[in-house]
Chain A
Amino acid sequence: MRIWKKLAIGAALATSLLAGTASAETVRFWYHFDNPENPMDDLVAKFEAANPGIEIEAENVPWNSYYDNLYTALVGGNAPDAAMVKLFAQPRLIEMGALEPLGERIDAWPGKADLLDNLLELNKGPDGQQYYLPIQYVVLYLYYRADLFEQAGLKPPTTCDEFRDAAIKLTKAPATYGFGLRGGKGGWDQWGAFVLSQGAKLEPGGLTTPEAIAANQWLIDLFQKDKVIPASAPNDGFQEITAAFKNGITAMTIHHIGSSNDMVKALGDKVSAVPVPECGGGRWTSYGDESLAVFSSSEVKDAAWKWISFLAEGENNVAFNKATGQMTVTKSGSENWTLHERRFVDATVQSLPFAHVLPQNTATSEFVNTAWQTAMQQALTGQITSEQMMQQLEALFAQQ
Chain B
Amino acid sequence: MTATTAPSPTDIAIPTPWSVRLMPYMLLAPAVLVTLFIVFFPMVQAVVTSLYDLILWKPNASRFVGFGNYARLFADPVFWTALGNTAIWIGLTVPLQMGLGLVTALLLNRDFPWRGLARALIIIPWALPSVVIALMWRWIYDPNTGVLNDILVYLSVVQSAVPWLADPDLALYAIIATLTWQGFPFFAVMILAGLQGIPRSHYEAASIDGASAFRQFVHITLPGIAPVLATAGLLRVIWVANSMDVIFVMTGGGPGYATHTLPLYAFVRARQNLDFGYGTTIAVTFTILLGAIVAVYLARTMREVER
Contacts and interface: CB of A to CB of B under 8 A. Distances in A.
Partners in one complex: yes
A234 to B, nearest CB: 4
A235 interface: yes
A378 B258 CA distance: 9
B62 A243 contact: no
Question: Interface size for chain A: under 10, 10 to 19, 20 to 34, or 35 or more residues?
Answer: 35 or more
A232 B142 contact: yes
Interface stretch (B83-91, B99-107, B164-172): B164-172
Interface string B148-175: 0000010000001111011110010000
Question: Which of B62, B161, B252 has the most CB atoms of chain A within a 10 A radius of its CB?
Answer: B252
B254 A95 contact: no
A130 interface: no
B45 A3 contact: yes
Given A71-B57, A174-B160, A369-B272, A377 B49 contact: no
A233 B52 contact: no
A68 B270 CA distance: 10
A375 B255 CA distance: 9
Contacts of B168: 377-378, 381, 383
Contact of B255 (A362, A369, A377): A377
A236 B57 contact: no
B57 to A, nearest CB: 5
Contact of A244 (B144, B251, B256): B144
A96 B57 contact: yes
B254 A377 contact: yes
Interface in B238-284: 251-258, 268, 271-274
A212 interface: no
B256 A378 contact: yes
Contacts of B162: 231
Contacts of B59: 4, 75, 96
A259 interface: no
A366 interface: yes
Nearest to A250: B144
A236 B166 contact: yes
B21 interface: no
A71 B56 contact: yes
Interface in B18-43: none
A230 B161 CA distance: 10
A4 B58 CA distance: 13
Given A3-B45, A247-B144, A366-B273, A234 B56 contact: no
Contacts of B271: 65, 68, 72
Contacts of B258: 377, 381
Interface in A227-245: 230-236, 240, 243-244
By DSSP majority rule, is chain B's interface helix, strand, loop, or mixed? loop
A296 to B, nearest CB: 13
Question: Interface size for chain B: under 10, 10 to 19, 20 to 34, or 35 or more residues?
Answer: 35 or more
A44 B268 CA distance: 35
A102 B271 CA distance: 29
Contact of A231 (B45, B161, B253, B272): B161
B228 to A, nearest CB: 38
Given A1-B49, A4-B59, A235 B255 contact: yes
B207 interface: no
Contact of B252 (A72, A95, A185): A185
B121 to A, nearest CB: 30
Given A72-B271, A92-B57, A233 B145 contact: no
A233 B166 contact: yes
Contacts of B49: 1
A1 B160 contact: no
Contacts of A185: 252
B254 A235 contact: yes
Contacts of A234: 163, 166, 254-255
Contacts of A72: 56, 271, 274
Contacts of A184: 252, 254
A231 B143 contact: yes
B54 interface: yes
Interface of A: 1, 3-4, 65, 68, 71-72, 75, 92-93, 95-96, 173-174, 183-185, 230-236, 240, 243-244, 247, 249, 362, 365-366, 369-370, 373-375, 377-378, 380-381, 383-384
12 contacts: A3-B45, A72-B56, A72-B271, A95-B58, A183-B166, A184-B252, A231-B163, A234-B166, A235-B166, A374-B256, A374-B257, A383-B168
Q: Which 5 A-B pairs have the closest CB atoms?
A: A378-B256, A377-B255, A231-B163, A234-B255, A235-B166
